[in-house]
Structure 1
Amino acid sequence: MVNAATERARAIAGAVPDPEMPMLTLADLGVLRDVEVDDNGAVTAVLTPTYSGCPAIAEMRGEVDRRLREAGYGEVTIRTRLDPAWTTDWITPEGRAALAEHGIAPPRPVARGAASGPVPLVLSPTRPALCCPRCGSTDTEQTSAFAATACKALWRCRACLEPFEYVKEI
């Protein structure tokens, strides 16, 4: 059973905005994996970065630590968990809606086979048909495989001619 101190700590840590996409909280992004408060009031928060080399993880760790300490938790430990690896499927429905509201096409669900085992290797380029987050048209095209961050690509809508970013499925 989760106690009130753990619920409060989880809410504080979960409200930290992602440094690269600040319209998302760490909870919305699915990066905040666990928060526990022990009997002595020490907090342990667990983060799973979007990929193992994500440069934003240091900022996330620091901000979670700072906010928890400001909230009165004296002993704070932030752990990084790489297994299981983060997936875009962990982005909440609220997070997906926030991305779209800010003109970023959210990722689609990732087709997964069995819970464990090899990941299918696709050797040919894949070009999903995306909906423009501004006008809803599916007449879109990729203009660059990379955007401001490695986890996003640049796209353009042929209908409204607006460029937009797309969070790649992982």
Structure 2
Amino acid sequence: MAADANGLAERVFTLLSAVPDPEIPVISLTDLGIIREVRPGSPAEVVITPTYSGCPASIAIQLSIRQALDAAGLADIQIRTELSPAWTTDWISEAGRQKLLAYGIAPPESAEARLKLKGDAPAICPQCGSARTQEISRYGSTPCKALWRCLDCAEPFDRFKCI
């Protein structure tokens, strides 16, 4: 049974790695760390944790997951939202961080880097790579991002908030 459960989890994670985040379509739900686990059982469950409890994309995320599961013949798998433990930017994969950067969004530092810096470091500009940046607003294009600007190239950009 464990092999079947592992096979199902692997199949679901592979399937959902192709499902983009509705607000940042360059990154998948798995790279963003929203897909937490696949629990075997009757019924099996995909456990998700939104980036924050009031995320306006939560319904769209669930719908995208449901459509992908149904299209793959996995309609019997349930989707379960769990808010504890709370999502953290540390759950973003390294590949996801690189995709965010290439898309023009400054990815958050890892928890280890934040501890070494003892506070919030300046964002690295995704346009020119400068660390001479400043926060313009804690509120960016979506609630999980802040608006920053580069002091060298003068371009505005979003930065994922460290959570």
Same-fold status (TM-score > 0.5)? yes
Interval containing the TM-score (normalised by the shorter chain): 0.7 to 0.9
SS in 1 for 2:111: coil
Give the 5 Å matches for 1:137-156: 137-156=130-149
Per the alignment, residue 128 of structure 1 pairs with 121
Q: Which runs of 4+ in 1 moved over 6 A?
A: none
1:17, CA displacement in angstroms? 0.8
- The amino acid that maps onto 1:10 is F
- The amino acid that maps onto 1:20 is E
SS in 2 for 1:23: coil
CA RMSD of aligned residues (A): 2.0
The CA distance in 2 between the partners of 1:102 and 1:163, in whole Å, is 13
Residue 40 of structure 2 corresponds to residue 47 of structure 1: no
**8 Å Cα contact 2:66-2:75 kept in structure 1:** no
Would you tell me which structure has more helix in proportion to its own residues?
A: 2
The CA distance in 2 between the partners of 1:167 and 1:69, in whole Å, is 31
Q: Unmatched 5+ residue regions in structure 2?
A: none
1:7, CA displacement in angstroms? 1.5
Deviations 1:5-57 (A, max 9, x none): 3321221123211111111111100000011454x7x5411100111111111
Give the 5 Å matches for 1:76-87: 76-87=77-88
Per the alignment, residue 34 of structure 2 pairs with 31
**8 Å Cα contact 2:22-2:60 kept in structure 1:** yes
TM-score, normalised via structure 1 length: 0.83
Q: Unmatched 5+ residue regions in structure 1?
A: 114-125
Per the alignment, residue 92 of structure 1 pairs with 93
Deviations 1:42-92 (A, max 9, x none): 541110011111111111111111111111113121000111110001000
TM-score, normalised via structure 2 length: 0.87
SS in 1 for 2:13: helix
The CA distance in 2 between the partners of 1:47 and 1:61, in whole Å, is 9
